Amino acid sequence: MTPALLGNLGVSLALAFSLLGLALSLLAYHQGDGRFLKGAKALVLPAFLAALAAFLALEWALLTHDFSLAYVARNHSVHDPLWVTLVTPWAALEGSILLWGLLQTLYTLLASRKPLDSWRATVVLAVLFGIQVFFFGVMATIASPFQTLPNPPSDGTGPNPLLQNHWMMAVHPVLMYLGFVGLSVPFAYAVAAMVVRRYQTWVGETRWWTLIAWGFLTAGKVAGMWWSYEVLGWGGYWAWDPVENASFIPWLLATAFLHTALVQETRGAFKAWNFAFVTLAFAATVLGTFLTRSGVIQSVHAFAEGPVGPAFLGFFLLSTALGLGLLSRVSREVRDTAVFRPLSREGALLLGAFFFAGWALVVVLGTFYPLLAEAFSGAKVSVGAPFFNQASLPIGAGILLLMGVGPILPWRRPRAEVVRNLYMLLAVLLLGTLLGLLRGYTLGASLAVGLFLYNAAAIFLLVREGVVARLRAGLSPWGFLENHRRMGSLVVHFAVALMGLGIAFSQTYRLEVEKTLYRGQAWEAGGVRMEFSGVRALDEGRRFAVEASLRTDRFGEVRPRLHFYPQMNSPLPSPKVVYTPGNDYYFLLMDFDREKGEWASIRLIVTPLVFWMWVAGGLMALGTLYILWPTAKREELKGVSPA
């Protein structure tokens, strides 16, 4: 047995089990025979085990330096450290599709364990098996991770240096895939609900799955921002790169669904919107994969170019047509008939969902406009960060405004005490903004201060209201913590407000300076005094490094680096970042004296409040986990939680 043989066998079996499972699921639906459904469920575990065997075969090939596999020869080297070797399966096209396929079988396995009526279970399984057929079909035909070479080399080139320059490579892609693949389950539930025409119960079940996927997507995006911040050498965490945009779009649409799903659960409204948001969120994951894998765009993720673009484009069109086609068929049955009041919680939630969906549309237009312009007119145009920043600013401010007022508003129509709370929040917003202006901040930064305080005040009011309600009911005041959904969402809202504050200040007050220093020369910039002591060269086997030594008066000695990889013509910066709650200090070695090491060009970037963005990312993940954490006392809290 060789890795190639085991891997090809695993992919073939996973494809065969998925095809058979798809056929049995469709038979179970059309024949109404539970034996076919039982047979389909029996194939879920074998498909997962076959996919797992294929994935382990690739790890086996990497760990044993089996360069007879083309994937290993292109993306691995005997000089790679162990952690890089272990994460290389998702460092390039074929391996990442294999990881996607493995996670898809895992989600199908978990979804098959959830109790559903037999009609919906058959459709859910058919959709999930169908997705598996696509991925394993791609691996079996045009993107095999186990293609062999007739004349294997003695060593490979190693993975893209950008991917082995930071440990976050081990985390960020896996989190993103868990989020992307996780959105396939809500899509399957939505299709099943529309096929069997049962429009209400699916949304509560789907909201749970969507929260899992949303949590992974959020953690993956924050991890990616951190990776960009420390690896790409630009000192920024977001560049509106097309592939960054592609992963942002499903996150926005899933966020929109999480808000309108709450309305359907509580008031039975917005059914059509929920079907649309779930369909588009899943389709956006496929569209993003098309962008990443097709090579039609230039981006920092262009390492993943490959021949699978048309296949993913076709799958995107098929998924979208399936979801929206079904929605068109049942549109009359899911139309809202209840009276809609804009000044109510459902009104705020729908408006917030429109903001998220509108933001997604803006990102789609900005990302695809250069492609469309070139396709129809031949003109090469670009849409850069200024467009996205200007378009996102009012949308982000609107979301932060609604985020504070939405949970305060009751369902249907506001009461007198709610109106008083709204006036108080408005006063906090104005005072916070005025306070910022008095401190000399720009209008945008001052508004960010006001919105942060406004949201903090809204959370305080909600918590206070919950505590008072429990005290009046003779219950422990701390029992409100057991309302996981409410408390988790408040933590997430606070984290979003904190991240908004960090983004506003880091974008407005970023300081970037650069100077060439000679040995022994001192330089004071950004509140830091530093003295250049020289450079030293390091041979680290898989790469060559040059390290500058700077003695600072605040952080001791810092050593920014340049890494030289054989695969790259230009050096890769490896900055030294000093994190503090107030400012981040980003030391970057730009150039150096290659003969005597007597001088070096140093760039210093000082960025305020970036530290709190990573804290906010952690809080968002914790808040999501708290919502999902099981509780046995949910029923007890009904009627005493904040309105």
For residue 263, pLDDT beyond 50: yes
Q: What's the whole-number mean pLDDT along residues 633-640?
A: 42
Q: What's the whole-number mean pLDDT along residues 254-272?
A: 90
pTM of the model: 0.91
Q: What's the whole-number mean pLDDT along residues 184-213?
A: 92
Structure confidence by residue, pLDDT tens digits, 304-359: 556 788 899 999 999 999 999 999 999 999 887 766 677 788 888 989 999 999 99
Burial of 332 (0-12, 13-18, 19+ CB in 10 A): exposed
More confident residue, 384 or 356: 356
Please give the share of the chain, as a percent, with pLDDT higher than 90. Answer: 62
CA distance 61 to 101: 18
pLDDT score recorded for residue 528: 94
More confident residue, 138 or 642: 138
CA distance 354 to 341: 16
pLDDT score recorded for residue 639: 38
For residue 641, pLDDT beyond 50: no
pLDDT score recorded for residue 169: 76
Where residue 289 falls among pLDDT bands split at 50, 70, 90?
confident
More confident residue, 340 or 255: 255
More confident residue, 530 or 410: 530
In DSSP terms, 576 is beta-bridged to 587
Structure confidence by residue, pLDDT tens digits, 388-442: 999 999 999 999 999 988 888 877 666 677 888 889 999 999 999 999 999 999 9
Q: Are strands 511-518 and 528-539 parallel, antiparallel or unpaired?
A: unpaired
Q: What's the whole-number mean pLDDT along residues 372-401?
A: 86
pLDDT score recorded for residue 453: 96
Q: What's the whole-number mean pLDDT along residues 448-452?
A: 96
Contact 583, 511 (CB under 8 A): no
The first and second tokens of residue 596, run together, are 């005597």
User: What is the average pLDDT score of the chain?
Assistant: 89
3-class DSSP string for 555-600? CEEECCEEEECCCCCCCEEECEEEECCCEEEEEEEEEECCCCCCEE
pLDDT score recorded for residue 305: 56
- Residue 539's CB: how many other CB atoms inside 10 A? 8
pLDDT score recorded for residue 638: 42
Q: What's the whole-number mean pLDDT along residues 166-186?
A: 88
Instruction: Give all strands (DSSP E) within 411-525, no chain letters.
Output: 511-518, 522-525
